[in-house]
Amino acid sequence: MLPWVVLGVATSKRTQGLLAAARETGASVRLVEWREWLADAHALEDRLRQPCRFKIEPPGDDARVHMTLVHMGCEQLGRAPCAPIERGELAQTDAWFEGFRLAIKRLERTLAAMPHVQVVNAPAEILAMTDKLECQQQLQSNAVPTAPLLGLVRDYEHLVALLDRSGMDRVFLKARYGSSASGVIAFRRNRRGQQQATTTAQLHEGGRLFNVKRVSCYTRHDEVRRVVDLVSAQGAYAEAWIPKPRHGAGHFDLRAVTFGGRVAHRIARLGQRPMTNLHLDSERVDPDRVLAAEDQAALAATAELAAGVFPRSNVVGFDLVVRQGKAHVLEANAFGDLLPGWLWQGKDTYATAFGDGAMR
């Protein structure tokens, strides 16, 4: 078994889960921290000089790294350095992505000179999946069923105009560079002029937004306008609201993780809110309890079709809505293998990744 090198954050749940699986399986893993690599490129390059497998984990759990990437992005975009961003604050996400893009491009150049390194997920494809609009566009262009896109949204007035043009009254507005429901707004309106914006983005004084675990539901016109404007200003897009199938008192979507292009772990996320992310206290449910055989087949076929769009990414998480024998991909996540304790063939996602079958 080749040794592994991981670029990550030592204190994150992802890295801790991966290291625990390495101890269980006997895999050799050497961790290089994002902050260490950004400060000194040799910290990683020296570890990659021998044949190995290299996995890139997200930098988001390190506040110092987050600000470093934001400052890199601001400089690239010609903006003045921004003030410190508080934990959970939704600010400068477009600048963060620009900094992340610069870092990933740097990684790509490093790996181009190291053909002996087996890269778990290619940097270019990680970048494509982190830009959620580009990701959906790539999936659509490859005939993967997705939610219909309305496109970029500049502000509240633009969103309303897009709805009027499309004849829709319910859409999801999504932060282009967000994750884990951060900056997602479930927007709906009716013929009486009432509007509702359900989101984890919480309005604070001074026009600031914070991502919180508690879901807020805004119905006052001024608040709906404000939260839509603030999310849109950092990059956002709208897509059609695909109804999720019901089970009991809630409704659900699914996360499926592909390894080497084949579906392995899958989990239903059951909740009573439009967003069913597990960190929002949605219930974990075995898909066998909620999906008929034809739905199981649609889930696997669609997730594997979507995995084919990213042929150099060996571990990808897909969020899907599956009903009546049809599946639609809501998102692809290059870091979508965080499912602590959820087993497939007796292994968690990290133990599965260490198997040879996880690489194409």
Residue with tokens 């580009």: 134
Kind and range of the H or E element at 288? helix 287-290
Q: Which of 74, 35, 126 is nearest to 334 (CA)?
A: 126
pLDDT tens, residue by residue, 319-331: 999 999 999 999 9
pLDDT number for residue 279: 84
Question: How would you classify residue 41: left for phi > 0, otherwise alpha for psi between -120 and 50, otherwise beta?
Answer: alpha
pLDDT for 343 beyond 90: yes
Residue 18 CA to residue 24 CA, distance in Å, equals 10
| pLDDT tens-digit readout, 271-312 | 999 999 988 889 999 999 999 999 999 999 999 999 999 999
Q: What is the mean pLDDT of the chain?
A: 96
pLDDT at 105 (0 to 100):
98
Q: Provide the pLDDT for residue 154.
A: 98
Q: Using one digit for the tens of pLDDT, what is the confidence trace for 188-197? A: 999 999 999 9
**Global model pTM greater than 0.85:** yes
The pLDDT assigned to 281 comes to 85
Burial class (CB in 10 A: 0-12, 13-18, 19+), 250: middle
For the stretch 10-53, pLDDT in tens is: 999 999 999 999 999 999 999 999 999 999 999 999 999 999 99
Q: What is the pLDDT of residues 163-194, one digit of tens each?
A: 999 999 999 999 999 888 888 999 999 999 99
